[in-house]
Amino acid sequence: MVTPRNCYLVTDCHCRSIVCPAVADVKGGGNFEKLQEAVVPDVLDAVGSDVAKLLVKFSNGEANLGNELTPADTKETPEVDWTPESDKFYTLSMTDPDALSRQNPIYREWQHWLVVNIPGNNVKEGQTLADYIGPGPPKGTGLHRYIFLLYEQPKKIDFSEQYKGVQDTANRKNFKTREFIKKYGLDKPVAGNYFQAQWDTSVG
C-alpha cells in the first residue's frame, strides 16, 4: 500500500488504512449542501453530491465552508491541498461573485486566482493564468464570498486565456466560471471551499 503525501498509515490486528488529516477532502455530506448554497446559482448551475472539501490554509487561518476571515489574514497566497488521482491534471480557481456587493453584483465574478494544468496537487508547478490577489471588498459592501473550486482536467490543456498579473485588475471583473469550464470541457468541481470577508482598515 502506497501512502499519499500528508497521510499516515494506521495498522491494527484487523486492517490497514490511510488517514489524511492534512487534506480536508472528505466527500459529500455537509460539503455538498454548504457549497451548493454558496455557488448555485451565482457561479455554477450545480455541484456534485460527492464534492470534496478543499484544504485552503492561510498563515493566520483557513477557509471552512463560509467562515469569516479578514482581508489582512488572507492577503498572501494560501496553501491549497487535496488528494489527487494518479497522473491527472487539475484547474484551481478563486472568484468573488459579490462584487461590487451581494446586493449589487455588477462585477460578478471578480477573478482572484486561476491556475491550470496542475500536475497532481502541486499548485506551484501549474500554469498560472491569473496571479493571486487577496480580498479587497469595498467599504460598506458587506460580506463577500471567496470561492475556491477545483476541477479534474480530462488531459493537459492548451489554455488560450490572457495572463493576468497582480497589476491587471481591470480585466478581472465579470469573469464567467460557467463559460470557462464549458470552453475547456471541464465537468463539475471535484472539490471546493470558501470563506467570507468584509472591509476592514487593512483594505485602505
Q: What is the pLDDT of residues 67-104, one digit of tens each?
A: 999 999 999 999 999 999 989 999 999 999 999 999 99
**What pTM was estimated for this model as a whole?**
0.87
Query: For the chain, which residues make up each domain, given as ranges?
Result: 24-197
Segment 149-160 mean pLDDT: 97
User: Residue 29: is its pLDDT beyond 80?
Assistant: no
Out of 3.40.630.30, 3.90.280.10, 3.50.50.60, 3.10.20.30, select the CATH number for domain 24-197: 3.90.280.10
Q: What is the pLDDT of residues 179-199, one digit of tens each?
A: 999 999 999 999 999 999 999
State CA 74 to chain mean position distance: 13
Comparing CA positions, the residue from 158, 186, 199, 185 lying closest to residue 68 is 199
> Are residues 109 and 193 in contact, defined by beta-carbon separation less than 8 angstroms?
no
> Are residues 107 and 97 in contact, defined by beta-carbon separation less than 8 angstroms?
no
Cell numbers representing residue 43 in the block? 457561479
CA–CA separation, 50 vs 37, rounded Å?
15
> Are residues 45 and 182 in contact, defined by beta-carbon separation less than 8 angstroms?
no
Confidence class for position 165, pLDDT limits 50, 70, 90? very high
Q: What is the percent of the chain with per-residue pLDDT over 70, rounded to a whole number?
A: 86
Q: What is the pLDDT of residue 137?
A: 97
3-state secondary structure of 38: helix
Comparing CA positions, the residue from 57, 58, 24, 79 lying closest to residue 191 is 24
Alpha carbons within 13 angstroms on the beta-carbon side of residue 193 total 23
Residue pointed to by grid coordinates 490486528: 13
